[in-house]
Structure 1
């Protein structure tokens, strides 16, 4: 199904071109013996591949979409237009550094305050997911080989499969004990983590995905892929959209139940 807004068709093609370029750079650096890893002020890791990917994406956008603003994880914001590209050059940097193939480039486009397009490309897994407003969510190796994504129809927490990033991040929040209780209540739990949790949810393989602390560049692209697949994406308090604090995604049937569970008391 094509995007309901025809102008998004060209934007989606641009997003795939950006992802192709990013994949070429990141794959070349994945597992490289001379990979440079530094620490940012918040003590998270950044590699030369993170910076190189974001620089390459920005260079293409400067030519292809010169009027659009750009927000990225590693470099300063540029532009002031209502349309804004939001980039996470490598989501899952710690996996990337350790040789774990679960990492991806996340690309989203905002029109005002609304996410209208998202693309998640995981080249080490040979997988890609994308979505546009009103156009549905898809997966495939490229835009030429799409398979539509649909969330699951699981309606109870006791039957649900849940994915999360780590337990440690939850214990310092007011949601710590409710989160642990939710783990115990679910049928199955696994820490797939990062973008992977949300893509599995969009495909119907996972029913609940949540994290306590995320930035806009982490959430923007996954949020529209989840919602266009029929799911719901909110913060932990239940406010829809990639607004934080944290993120909670479900197949929609489970959302109110999980929000109530995490926010009890």
Structure 2
């Protein structure tokens, strides 16, 4: 995968390290969990994974910056550059601390404001997903056991499997009824949550995933995987997603329909 082969190989090595740490703490009786200022949980596994990834990146990519959920932004040792790694050490911490196996480490490489490579590793599910710009999206147990993935060809909401997150968040945005109406109009609706809905979308197992608010570390790794699988991912206005934005991800064929359905109604 010319251009990003070395970066993706590094991302897999980072994920190997992350998996060994997180799986060692998953369902551990002595797991330490605290609340952050925004009242979301953080475990000792979150911080240990991010510290380990940062340590490796400092050696392997000293010219690249790093942004992580737990420790913020670090400027590259060699000075500011256009490349930075964006890390969510454990996406789905609430699942992690309750023993639910749907959680993952998210690793992205950005050039400027554009995510150009992404990897999602869900060790408790025994699965990874990864992609780089212009080279397709893949899934498998590891880098050498990969299958190329693609979104579905579903064209009608009535035939679509619809996935959503955070009804309370959609309520706060004043769009709860829109989401409910879209759910009722769909063939099937489920709330898989966090990274997982986006990965199922990229694999063609569902057709729409919507979420009211995501931070950059929540979404940067997802964008290359969804788009390289043939899907679309934007905010409510149809723009490229940004930090703290709402997110609509679809198989592309349904995107305009979903955008219209989630447009706030004027009175």
String of CA shifts for 1:150-180, please: whole Å, max 9, x gaps.
Answer: 0000001111001112322211113222111
Q: Which moved further from structure 2: 165-174 or 14-23?
A: 165-174
1:257 aligns with 2:253: no
Q: How far, CA to CA, are the matches of 2:220 and 2:242 in structure 1?
A: 6
Correspondence list, 1:87-106, <5 A: 87-106=87-106
Q: How far, CA to CA, are the matches of 1:103 and 1:71 in structure 2?
A: 19
Q: Say if 2:11 and 2:119, in contact at 8 Å, map to a contact too.
A: yes
1:19 aligns with 2:15: yes
Q: Say if 2:166 and 2:212, in contact at 8 Å, map to a contact too.
A: no
Give the C-alpha shift of residue 244 in structure 1.
4.7
Q: How far, CA to CA, are the matches of 1:244 and 1:183 in structure 2?
A: 23
Q: Which moved further from structure 2: 20-29 or 78-87?
A: 78-87
- Which residue does the alignment assign to 1:36? 32
String of CA shifts for 1:83-109, please: whole Å, max 9, x gaps.
Answer: 010000000000000000000000000
Give the C-alpha shift of residue 7 in structure 1.
2.9
Correspondence list, 1:57-72, <5 A: 57-72=53-68
TM-score by length of 1: 0.96
Q: How far, CA to CA, are the matches of 1:212 and 1:247 in structure 2?
A: 6
Q: Which moved further from structure 2: 95-104 or 174-183?
A: 174-183
Q: How far, CA to CA, are the matches of 2:130 and 2:8 in structure 1?
A: 8
The verdict on how the C-alpha distance between 1:108 and 1:208 changes in structure 2, with shifts beyond 3 A counting, is same
Q: How far, CA to CA, are the matches of 2:206 and 2:127 in structure 1?
A: 17
Q: Say if 1:234 and 1:244, in contact at 8 Å, map to a contact too.
A: no
Q: How far, CA to CA, are the matches of 1:214 and 1:54 in structure 2?
A: 19
The verdict on how the C-alpha distance between 1:42 and 1:264 changes in structure 2, with shifts beyond 3 A counting, is closer
- Which residue does the alignment assign to 2:51? 55
Q: Say if 1:138 and 1:146, in contact at 8 Å, map to a contact too.
A: yes
Q: Say if 2:85 and 2:109, in contact at 8 Å, map to a contact too.
A: yes
- Which residue does the alignment assign to 2:141? 141
Runs of 4+ in structure 1 deviating by more than 6 angstroms, as ranges, are: none
Q: How far, CA to CA, are the matches of 1:141 and 1:74 in structure 2?
A: 27
TM-score by length of 2: 0.96
Give the C-alpha shift of residue 46 in structure 1.
0.2
- Which residue does the alignment assign to 2:229? 229
- Which residue does the alignment assign to 1:111? 111
Q: Say if 1:38 and 1:47, in contact at 8 Å, map to a contact too.
A: yes
- Which residue does the alignment assign to 2:197? 197
Q: How far, CA to CA, are the matches of 2:24 and 2:120 in structure 1?
A: 18
Q: Say if 2:214 and 2:243, in contact at 8 Å, map to a contact too.
A: no
- Number of corresponding residues: 261
The verdict on how the C-alpha distance between 1:101 and 1:129 changes in structure 2, with shifts beyond 3 A counting, is same
* RMSD, matched Cα: 1.0
Q: How far, CA to CA, are the matches of 1:262 and 1:7 in structure 2?
A: 37
